[in-house]
Structure 1
Amino acid sequence: MGTLCNALAVVLGGLLGMVLRGKFPLRVQEALMHTLGLVCVPLGLSMALKGGKFLALLLSLVAGGALGELLQLEGRLEHFSRRLEERLKTGAGTFAPGFLAATLLFCIGPMTIMGSLEDGLGKVPQILYTKSLLDGVASIALAASLGVGVPFSALSILLVQGSITLLARFIAPSISEAFVQEMTATGGILILGIALNLLNLKKIRVANLLPSLGFVAIFIRIL
């Protein structure tokens, strides 16, 4: 349900952006993003407080953050995005640049993974609902400048997030409730990092913290 909501938000936002071409001021975009950043703060806090093992949460974030920094996950993702965008822009017309830029923006990131896992594990997909708002606003701005390819990126969202959600549902019976709680708490900290980025308060390399979600499974068994 969360992925369908996300895809619909991108389609509607993209269509609206095409209608509003040249009429969507940058200051309005910034105001909307700051508002969504404020919304992410209570969401992240409520998720972070669901954990019952603070030490496991702390160690998971420390270990995951260290591994992510060593692997330079965020830098690699950004480099991959730029390279792919540059290749597809060459002689690609007007459709491909918009489709690619939107696909990379909406399908590569912490909220994509955390939200799809949350949805697949049978929880209320709060992260994907929040992501739907973010992507909807972003798709308005993208479509206003890049055109018709942007709303079609909803197909990429259905494919990527739908696959992760189905995988999570498949493995859900073998996942303990303790793991779900601590993974939710860890994800909440990452959402707070995204909030800081949206509010332009501090640049947090959130993608480098993604390995923390895997370390949770280890530390809840040890502690």
Structure 2
Amino acid sequence: MLGTIVNVLAICAGAIAGLVLKKGIKPSVKKTVMQAIGLSVLLVGLQMSLQSNQIILVIISLALGGISGELLKIEDNLHRLGLWLQNLVGKKSGDIASAFVTTSLIYCVGAMAIVGAIEDGLTGNPNTLFTKAILDGVSAIFFASTMGIGVIFSCIPVLIYQGTITLTASFLKDILNPFVINQLTATGGLLIVGIAINILELKKINTGNLLPAIIIIVPLSYIVKNLNLV
């Protein structure tokens, strides 16, 4: 859990720094930096999505994940949680709900979050999550300076998500083979692409409702691999 704990602390520190520097950063600089982050997130997502050579599995997982997410209303529930936090904090300035949802998805859905947490759980090596912590901490500065205090609350799902993967990784050792991880990475990569599109304000994509896809892809890939269908 050391890697996840450091990651959480980095997000909090970055968010606090961003709030402190908020008034000292010009709107034009904030906008440009957010566009740069959006493009960077897009690049990361595209690189991740190319990890799979079985794209049909990714498509099926995204389709089933989208159906599940819509039925569970994940995006609405995340937004509702953000609004509850907004009311709890009592801030009228800044969209806490939007900041919470956006940054939670960015920090949770990614190759480093998944592979790093697995590596930490299976081998006790937190180096991948340490690297992710640096990236998340830096981006949190700019996210918080632009989007407000809601960014700091994203450390909660990061702790739960990565911590859960780390603690259960040893029980999934036989399932999480390289083939499964590649499909998982590609699926997460496409979700990251959707997040980048949202950041760049090109189109609103309900990436929250697609989150079940990263769960569905694991047993689906495992079954296909063990039946020698690939």
TM-score calculated relative to the size of structure 2: 0.73
1:85-124 correspondence to structure 2 within 5 Å: 85-86=86-87, 88-89=88-89, 104=100, 108-109=104-105, 111-114=107-110, 115-122=112-119, 124=128
Identity %: 23
Query: Distance in 2 between the 1:37 and 1:216 partners?
Result: 26
Pairing 1:139–2:144 present = yes
Partner deviation per Cα, 1:182-221 (whole Å, 9 max, x = no partner): 0001001001001101111111111111110111123221
- Native 8 Å contact 2:109 2:192 kept in 1: no
- The residue identity in structure 1 corresponding to 2:119 is G
Q: 1:107 to 1:13 in 2, by over 3 A?
A: closer
1:109 counterpart letter in structure 2: L
Q: 1:190 to 1:154 in 2, by over 3 A?
A: closer
State the secondary structure of the residue aligned to 1:85: helix
Give the RMSD, CA atoms, in angstroms. Answer: 3.5
Instruction: Report the AA paired with residue 56 of structure 1.
Output: L
Q: 2:17·2:141 contact (CA, 8 Å) conserved in 1? A: no
Amino acid at match of 1:186: T
Q: Would the aligned equivalents of 1:10 and 1:132 in 2 still touch at CA under 8 Å?
A: yes
Match of 1:164 in 2: 164
Q: Could you tell me which residue of structure 1 aligns to residue 125 of structure 2?
A: none
Runs of 5+ unmatched residues, structure 2: 121-127
Counterpart in the other structure of 2:199:
198
Supply the distance in 2 between the matched residues of 1:66 and 1:5 (Cα, whole angstroms): 31
Q: Aligned pair in 2 of structure 1 residues 37, 212: CA closer, same or farther (>3 Å)?
A: same
TM-superposed deviation, 1:42: 1.8
Alpha-carbon distance, 1:12 to partner = 4.2
Would you say the 8 A contact 1:56–1:216 is kept in 2? Answer: yes
Residue 4 of structure 1 corresponds to: 6
What's 2:34 paired with?
33
Measured after TM superposition, the shift of residue 163 of structure 1 is 1.8
Structure 1 regions of 5+ residues with no counterpart? none
Cα separation, 1, equivalents of 2:11 and 2:194: 23
1:51-110 Cα offsets, whole Å, 9 max, x none, are: 121111111111111211222210111012212431x236xxx9xx99x87994587435
Distance 1:158 1:61, change over 3 A: closer
64 and 158 in structure 1: CA distance in 2 versus 1, 3 angstrom threshold:
closer
Q: Which 10-residue stretch deviates more, 117-126 or 47-56?
A: 117-126
Corresponding residue for residue 124 of structure 2: none
Question: How many residues get paired?
Answer: 210
Secondary structure (helix, strand or coil) at the match of 2:119 reads: coil
Deviates more, 1:114-123 or 1:213-222: 114-123
